[in-house]
Amino acid sequence: MFQIALKSLRAKWRDYTVLFVGLVISAAIFYMLSAIALNRDFLLNNSSIGLIVPVFMVGEFLLGVITFVYLNFANSFLLRLRQSEYGLMSMLGAKKSQIGDLLMQETLALGVISTVIGIFAGIGLTAASGNFLMNLLDTKLANWSVFSFNAALATLVFFVALFFINGLYNRGRLSKQDTLTLLTADKQVSQPKRHKLLDPLLGLVGLGLLILSYVMMPGIVHLGLYGFIVVLVLNVWGTYWFVSRTLKMVTYALRGSRFNNRGLRSFLNGQLLFRLPEYQRILTVISVMFGLALGAMSVGQGYYRALPQQAQSGQPFTAAYTSDKISTSNLKDITWEATYHYSVNKGKVYFNGDEFNEKKLPTVVETGKGNDTRIKWLTGDYLLATPGSEYTLTSIANQILDKQYGATAVVTHNESEMAVEGDVKSVRLVTVKSFAANEATLTANAKREARLTGTAMNHQAGVPGMFTLLKNVFGGLEFMGIFLGIAFLAMLASTLMFKVLSGVADDKRRYRILTMIGTSKRQVTATVVKDLGVLFFIPLVIGTLDVIFGLPMFKALMADPYVGFMPSLIAIVVLYVIYFVMTVILYRRLLK
């Protein structure tokens, strides 16, 4: 029996390679996400959101779900590869229990070997992607660790458990099939059934559920955890019915039409129709995963991209310089500039109130209409008469004392009162019309100020300082969003890719017949592109719609949840298209 198994492995090495590589990649991606999700210190130290740990646990759970789906179909594929050999063994007198044991051993051996290799590949992947992203985002993250014993253990236990469950399931399925069915397993095809009433009905119900889930999404914060689960169920169920029934109805409607009587359209249509029973569930899961990947990346990027605006919104001036070696002449469109004097004594910074009477100090106040703010100009008299108003000078005092927060600013009546406290120095405040137009110069100036005075960039008053501070806080969140998005995308695209490639044996025969009756290589390639294109296109459209309607869920956390959407969509589509092209190339090679 072992020899037959070995011969089968040799004969079908291409199929086994596809299966094996797919399993290694899924284990590697699972490890990659686990390495972050199980690293509490990393998550808490690099995110301002307390919910980040549960968010990653949900991410891990969802990746677990798709891994389960993937392993399920991978093991069905393994069973299908081996069925006719099992039939032969049965013909030769092997007992069902013996064959069942063999299947179980093969499944577990494949599972353990691919998972162990996958964990090592995952460590490499985590190191490579982590370093790449940190360089790209120009950020260093605390507690970042490439190797995680917990992640390796979680991956191994999860995968081996799933393989064990799948092995038991396959063994059960095998014991129910008679020898003849096993022997002719290669020649059996599944045929989709047409329901003239039920198909349009369920298609419409599916569309209704999908729309309902979109309507509920913006208000999900008020619905709580149960609301989230209801929306998820409605979305998944709606996608499943809508996609499967619509695709079936369209392909049936095209069948027998004039449209079908041209080139290889009838063949393409037939391919899609016959793929449906096998693909409808996986396309639904992949659509939802696509939405999650794009959503994670959009939210992460959204936070990051909103930073310049956020950094500017609370600042009464653009920058403050205590070093007189920094020139402001290279800044564009300066709208206000003033120099003030100060002295430092026992951890307090003293300012001259007379100077503020001459050159008023800007501060930010709320207008009372929502979150709108405006600039108010303060005199020295006002600052002295209004206790607490000196808070506006605190950010400048923090910069002078190189503190993140907690510096004390004191306004004195005149220059002599200030000079008593210590050496008099000066600080220049400047406001420019556009931060974006001056970003490079302002950043360079802030770096220079840091070098000349020893004040860290994130301790500096004004926009560049606040921007640096926010970048430190939210940079981790962007990193996690992109990381989560890439992990989801890699997993879903790999699942679809290997699902397609594992079915190539069935398609090979059909394409060979086409070649024999006069189909050119170019026509075959064009048909493959269209055939696989439809499979890749559906999750792209549904997943993108999910995100378009789902992003308002984050309105409570972000002013504009769509700010990171387009760049994320472009990045994800580029990666997805690369996967698609790779699939077409590999598929075309396997067809030969």
User: Residue numbers of the site for other proteins (CB under 8 A)?
Assistant: 189, 191, 255-256, 258, 260-267, 270-271, 273-274, 509-510, 513-523
Residue closer to other proteins, measured from CB, 413 or 512: 512
Residue closer to other proteins, measured from CB, 95 or 510: 510
Residues 480 and 43 sit within 8 Å (Cβ to Cβ)? yes
Residue closer to other proteins, measured from CB, 72 or 266: 266
Instruction: Provide the sign of the torsion angle of the four alpha carbons 300, 303, 306, 308, taken in this order.
Output: negative
Q: Give Cα separations from 478 to 33, 92, 135, 226, 359 (angstroms).
A: 15, 60, 13, 27, 41
Task: Work out how close the CB of 274 gets to other proteins at its nearest, in angstroms, rounded to a whole number.
Answer: 4
Task: Work out how close the CB of 181 gets to other proteins at its nearest, in angstroms, rounded to a whole number.
Answer: 15
Residue closer to other proteins, measured from CB, 192 or 295: 192
Task: Work out how close the CB of 569 gets to other proteins at its nearest, in angstroms, rounded to a whole number.
Answer: 34
Residue closer to other proteins, measured from CB, 368 or 518: 518
Residue closer to other proteins, measured from CB, 265 or 403: 265
Distance of CA 149 to the CA centre of its chain: 24
Residues whose CB falls within 8 Å of the CB of residue 94, separated by 6 or more in sequence, listed in order: 1
Q: What share of the chain is helix, strand, coil (3-state, %, to 5)?
A: 75, 10, 20
Task: Work out how close the CB of 273 gets to other proteins at its nearest, in angstroms, rounded to a whole number.
Answer: 7
Task: Work out how close the CB of 533 gets to other proteins at its nearest, in angstroms, rounded to a whole number.
Answer: 17
Residue closer to other proteins, measured from CB, 150 or 257: 257
Q: Cα–Cα distance between 340 and 107 in angstroms, integer?
A: 76
Residue closer to other proteins, measured from CB, 207 or 514: 514
Task: Work out how close the CB of 262 gets to other proteins at its nearest, in angstroms, rounded to a whole number.
Answer: 6
- Residue 81 pairs in a beta bridge with none
The candidate with the shortest Cα–Cα distance to 485, out of 312, 295, 336, is 295
First to last CA, the chain: 31
- With tokens 């294109």, the residue in question is 533
Task: Work out how close the CB of 76 gets to other proteins at its nearest, in angstroms, rounded to a whole number.
Answer: 19
Residue closer to other proteins, measured from CB, 262 or 346: 262
Task: Work out how close the CB of 275 gets to other proteins at its nearest, in angstroms, rounded to a whole number.
Answer: 8
Residue closer to other proteins, measured from CB, 475 or 503: 503
Helix (H, G, I), strand (E, B) or coil at 197: coil
Q: Cα–Cα distance between 200 and 368 in angstroms, integer?
A: 53
Distance of CA 228 to the CA centre of its chain: 19
CB atoms within 10 A of CB 224: 10
Task: Work out how close the CB of 37 gets to other proteins at its nearest, in angstroms, rounded to a whole number.
Answer: 42
Task: Work out how close the CB of 518 gets to other proteins at its nearest, in angstroms, rounded to a whole number.
Answer: 2
Residues 160 and 111 sit within 8 Å (Cβ to Cβ)? yes
Residues 508 and 592 sit within 8 Å (Cβ to Cβ)? no
**DSSP tag of 187:** G
Task: Work out how close the CB of 535 gets to other proteins at its nearest, in angstroms, rounded to a whole number.
Answer: 15
Residue closer to other proteins, measured from CB, 3 or 191: 191
Pinpoint the alpha helices (H) of 255-378.
265-305, 307-313, 353-358
Q: Cα–Cα distance between 312 and 373 in angstroms, integer?
A: 11
554-558: Cβ within 8 A, 24+ apart: 554/299, 554/302, 555/218, 556/221, 557/49, 558/299, 558/302, 558/303, 558/306
